[in-house]
């Protein structure tokens, strides 16, 4: 999508019918209520028919109500404060079987991501990692844990991995000062997007590096700088985001790299095992 749903609505607001304007106002000003409503419930909320709601989604250029609903949910993720998220999650899941509800939602996110992930971008990202002179990895705020996970695992099999510490913008660029066309920069950012991450990927791209971006959609502010775009669905789980889908992509990347470099990686782990045993890194139980 070229712009978010709120901008789409504002672009055509003056042409909408009275009933459509009711729906538009609900999305613009009560999006936290609308995000997880069915078309029928949204129609009841604003006093129009379900078919009017569906036609409104079509009028905005969405392919069905489900795509429209996901756009509203994306608006929610990028706009709500942590306290607002807590309230909305309570409304969404209630006080029933939270474990089942949350895990079923996570399963759905992985399936949604699997169905839509670009295979070309996935394999292109692996090619970029394998040919890179240096592998820079960065994530900020909630996405930092994803960067640490990928960095740890790649560091076990490569000596050229550099995890960027997301401190002040100036210090980030100091850590990236040598990045060039021989390198790859892997960035993680999900709503609410970090402005620091946007600046970092732009800097990496301007210096000629391959840029692998993990984010939630092609409307992400990082997407325009990506040479490989790995989109994974994220969603609210209280004040934190559910990041099971990007973790699954990380797992797949590690497995694919291991398959391609099996002999040298096996030899490397043979050496590591001897070191771990000698210095008792792991317990025997």
Per-residue pLDDT tens for 32-84?
788 888 999 999 999 999 999 999 999 999 989 988 988 888 777 666 565 55
* Topology of the domain covering 5-95: Arc Repressor Mutant, subunit A (1.10.10)
Extents of the domains making up the chain? 5-95, 117-259
Q: Which pLDDT does position 119 carry in this prediction?
A: 97
Q: Which pLDDT does position 34 carry in this prediction?
A: 87
* Topology of the domain covering 117-259: Rossmann fold (3.40.50)
> DSSP string covering 246-273, please?
HHHHHHHHHHHHHHHTHHHHHHHHHHHH
Q: What is the pLDDT of residues 175-216, one digit of tens each?
A: 999 999 999 999 999 887 889 999 999 999 999 999 999 998
- 66-80, 85-99, 152-166, 261-275: least confident range: 85-99
Q: Which pLDDT does position 2 carry in this prediction?
A: 39
pLDDT at residue 87 is higher than 90: no
Residue of 7 and 81 predicted with greater confidence:
7
């Amino acid at each position: 999508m070229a712009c978010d749903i709120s901008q789409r609505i504002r672009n055509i607001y003056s042409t909408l019918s009275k009933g459509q304007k009711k729906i538009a106002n609900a999305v613009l000003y009560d999006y936290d209520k609308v995000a997880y409503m069915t078309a029928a419930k949204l129609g009841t909320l604003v006093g129009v028919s379900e078919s009017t709601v569906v036609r409104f989604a079509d009028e905005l250029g969405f392919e069905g109500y489900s795509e429209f609903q996901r756009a509203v949910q994306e608006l929610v993720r990028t706009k709500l404060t942590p306290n607002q998220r807590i309230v909305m999650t309570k409304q969404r899941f209630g006080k029933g079987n939270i474990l089942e509800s949350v895990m079923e939602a996570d399963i759905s996110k992985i399936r949604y991501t699997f169905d839509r992930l670009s295979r070309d971008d996935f394999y292109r990202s692996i090619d970029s990692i394998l040919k890179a002179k240096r592998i820079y990895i960065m994530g900020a705020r909630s996405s930092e844990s994803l960067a640490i996970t990928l960095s740890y695992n790649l560091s076990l099999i490569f000596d050229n991995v550099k995890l960027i510490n997301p401190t002040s913008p100036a210090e980030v660029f100091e850590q990236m000062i040598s990045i060039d066309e021989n390198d790859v920069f892997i960035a993680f950012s999900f709503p609410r997007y970090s402005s620091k991450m946007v600046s970092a990927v732009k800097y990496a791209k301007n210096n000629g590096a391959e840029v692998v971006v993990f984010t939630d959609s092609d409307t992400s502010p990082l997407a325009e700088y990506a040479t490989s775009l790995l989109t994974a669905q994220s969603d609210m789980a209280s004040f934190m985001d559910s990041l099971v889908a990007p973790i699954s992509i990380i797992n797949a990347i590690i497995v694919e790299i291991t398959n391609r470099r099996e002999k040298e990686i096996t030899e490397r782990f043979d050496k590591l095992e001897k070191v771990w045993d000698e210095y008792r890194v792991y317990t025997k139980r």
